[in-house]
Amino acid sequence: MIETTAHAQLDLFQQRRKTLLALIQRQLELLDSLDMKGWQETLHRVEKRLQVDSFKVLILGESKGGNSTFINAMLGDKVLPAYAKPCAAIINEVKWGERKRALLHYTNSPDNGAKLVKEIPIDKIEEYVVIKDKISELKENPYEKLELFCPLEICRNGVEIIDFPGLNFREIRQKATRDYISTVDAVLFVLSSGFLSSQRELNFMDNSLLSMGHKDIFFVCNQINQIRAKERESIKEYAFSKLVSPTKRGKKSIFFIDALGALEGRLELDEVRLNQSGVPELEKELATFLTNQKGRLKILQADQEFKGAIREAQRIIPERATLLITGVKTLERRFETAQKTLNLLELERQQIVIRLSNFIKDTQPFIHQKIQQFLDVITETKIAEWMTEYELEEPFRFLKLECLTTQIEKVVEEVKNHLAQRIETEFFTWQFSELQPFLTARLESLMRELEKRAEVFVKNIENLRVDLIVGTSTSQNVITYQETKVSLLERVIAASGGFSLSDSVAGVLGTAFDFQKMVKGLIAQTVLFAVTSAFADLNPFILIPAMLIGGIVQGDWKNESTNDEIKKAVTEKFINQICTDTYQRSNELSNAIVQKISKIKDAIDQEFCQEIQNIRDQVDSILKEKQKGQSNVEQKLYELVTIRKILDAIDSELNELITQVATM
């Protein structure tokens, strides 16, 4: 019954999404009839986003936490391999497909061309997703991700499962942060009930998940069945004390499950065991979250752009009617007079774009300098301090029954991960205390200036429309200036990618554009992406041959001094490599930030250009219709009446749909 409820919720959302897509199709036909090319492009973008959009659920956790078994339990089939060895050295994306098949994506492309993709047999997945014996093989893995297509019910309802275990590997953490976290709808953090929330996991939550706005994390405490019955309550209390604060959903987002029991219960049609596993309750809560929060937001975002197209069409219809009954000579004279104003508007657009370009050019050196200063402090004092106080978890031991190379490799990996984690944590702390306030102050000042210039620009556009339509006086049918301003600025945020920042979007839906919220989200998102790749190529594994040959491991049976020498060598390698590449790294980070800001510039340029072009398109369209003769004009006037009725019907149906969505 619980499973049916969960699937029903997701199915209801899909029905409403399809209804919205059908309305958009009808609206696109009207826009074509009204020669509203700019709005057609906008609505086509909305349509495409809705068609391909799905609920992306990211499964995170450290190796051996039971991620694969948990995902298989959700899917009701043994889709992913679950072995004793750590799995998922590559990402697994599980999606809907009519038949089972697996596509393997390579990390690099030959000759800088398209990345290679090859289909592999389902029963050979283990060969590609299981980490082998050597830690360093993780860096040598040529594969980026594995796409699995399966005819599974949860995937049929528009859910994609992204398997991302292996947070104990820094490269995995970085890829999750850089490529996935900003785009997913829900994060399920899988933990082992026997070992809850390591420091590495807590750091990842703070630095990556929470800073990206994921305040609704689902914590999945797996293998609760392996905890002795009399100890389970104390384990649960401990979990609540550690995990309640990172999620605003409180205890409702913390689940204690038996993934293996759920999987076997589904495979063996054992409903009692399935219900005892705790997985169905989690799935129901997840489905509610996806449909009621994320699903509602997806539709409401599309609704805002859709409403903009409707409002614009409602204005265009009476304008076109007035222009159609205006004499050709009068219309040509007005259009000729309007050329001077159009040219001035074009000049103003160019000046705004130049202002934005100059701002970006002036800001980049400041960002570069601040990042370089941060790196200098890190290399001069911090790294050595961190390593001095760090105690190895798995130190080198001469008497250990393990080859010397493997032991050294493990120590090097541990030291490397510890230093990288400390650098990332330090960077995030510095980012919030120094970099973000600096950028926010500069951007907010710029945005206030742009908002004033946008107001003047839009007002001039409106005055020009009035001059073209009625000569001098204001028409009652013209949409108010404030509505036009909101419409334009909403389109700017959509075109600049602002709708990917859910908290910011939630704050501006149905209101005027909120630059400050977008600025803060923009900075957090950009810096987060930049830091995850900043130190990705630091590779201390090249030190291992030298350690074996002559320098560090000399067989003197002094374990402590050998470990200290390994720590020292890796630390020096880190410092030297960062110092060598400080300028380049500062440049990469500052470039990443200004490229994100450039999206605002490109969006404003595009939308202002569109406003000017819309006027030219409408007048050109009307003149062509009038040149076809009076009977054609009368036919077009009649069509406008029909179009208005259809438009009003679409508007009414859209309002009804949004009312239903609001009550989900």
pLDDT tens digits along 74-133: 888 887 776 545 544 578 888 988 888 989 888 776 666 667 888 888 888 777 766 555
- One domain, residues 552 and 453: yes
Residue 529 covered by a domain: yes
**What are φ and ψ of residue 25, in 5° steps?**
-60, -45
- Mean pLDDT in residue range 342-357: 92
Domain for residue 10, yes or no?
no
Asked whether residue 247 carries a pLDDT value surpassing 60, the answer given is yes
Asked if 270 and 382 sit in the same domain, the reply is: no
Burial of 609 (0-12, 13-18, 19+ CB in 10 A): middle
Q: How many domains does the chain have?
A: 2
* 270 plus 403 within the same structural domain: no
Bridge-partner residues for 647, per DSSP? Answer: none
Contact 468, 396 (CB under 8 A): no
Supply the pLDDT for residue 498. 44
One domain for residues 256 and 362: no
**Domain assignment present for 110:** yes
Average pLDDT over residues 540-566: 58
Q: pLDDT digit string (tens) for 290-347?
A: 888 888 888 888 888 898 889 889 989 998 999 999 999 999 999 999 999 999 999 9
Please check the confidence at residue 573 and state whether its pLDDT lies above 50: yes
Give the length of the chain.
664
For the segment 176-186, what is each residue's pLDDT rounded down to a tens digit?
666 677 778 88
End of a domain among 243, 277, 311?
Answer: 277
Same domain? 599 vs 532: yes
Burial environment of residue 51 by CB neighbours within 10 A (0 to 12, 13 to 18, 19 or more): exposed
State the residue range of the domain holding 348: 328-473+488-627
Last residue of a domain, one of 242, 277, 312: 277
Span of 81-85, 266-270, 498-502 with lowest mean pLDDT: 498-502
Would you tell me the crossing angle of helices 582-627 and 559-580 to the nearest 10 degrees? Answer: 40
Cα torsion angle, 387, 388, 394, 400, sign? positive
Is 650 among the domain residues? no
Q: Any idea what the CATH number is for the domain that residue 237 is in?
A: 3.40.50.300
334, 268: one domain: no
266 & 338 share domain: no
- Residues 175-196: what's their mean pLDDT? 79
Same domain, 461 and 395: yes
Summarize pLDDT for 203-237 with one digit per residue, the tens: 677 666 776 667 788 999 998 988 888 888 988 98
Is the pLDDT higher at 600 or at 235? 235
518 pLDDT band, cuts 50/70/90, is: low
Nearest CA-CA partner of 118 in 142, 102, 97, 98: 102
* Pair 204, 348 in one domain: no
Q: Look up residue 289 and give its two tokens.
A: 């979250």
**What's the predicted TM-score (pTM) here?**
0.75
* pLDDT for the residue 514: 47
Strand, coil or helix: what is 627?
A: helix
Q: Is residue 509 part of a domain?
A: yes
Instruction: Look at residue 505 and give its three-state secondary structure.
Output: helix
**Mean per-residue pLDDT over the chain, rounded:** 78
Are 187 and 247 contained in the same domain? Answer: yes
Tens digits of per-residue pLDDT, 410-444? 888 788 778 877 887 788 788 778 887 888 788 77
According to DSSP, the β-strands at 218-222 and 254-256 are: parallel
Q: Please tell me whether residues 81 and 216 are part of one structural domain.
A: yes
Q: Is there a single domain that holds both residue 461 and residue 589?
A: yes
Summarize the confidence of residues 381-398 as an average pLDDT: 82
CA atoms within 13 A on the CB side of 304: 26
Q: Is residue 305 part of a domain?
A: no
Query: How does DSSP assign 480-502, residue by residue?
Result: PHHHHHHHHHHHHHHHTTGGG-H
Query: Tell me, what DSSP letter sits at residue 141?
Result: -
Residue pLDDT, tens place only, 449-468: 887 888 888 888 888 888 88
Decide if 59 contacts 322 (C-beta within 8 A).
no
- 11 within some domain: no
Instruction: State the distance between the two ends of the chain, measured CA to CA, in whole angstroms.
Output: 19
At 262, list the tokens: 């759920």
Beta strands in 218-327 (DSSP E): 218-222, 254-256
Q: Which of residues 277, 292, 314 is at a domain's end?
A: 277
For residue 191, being part of any structural domain is answered with yes
Q: Give the pLDDT of residue 653.
A: 96
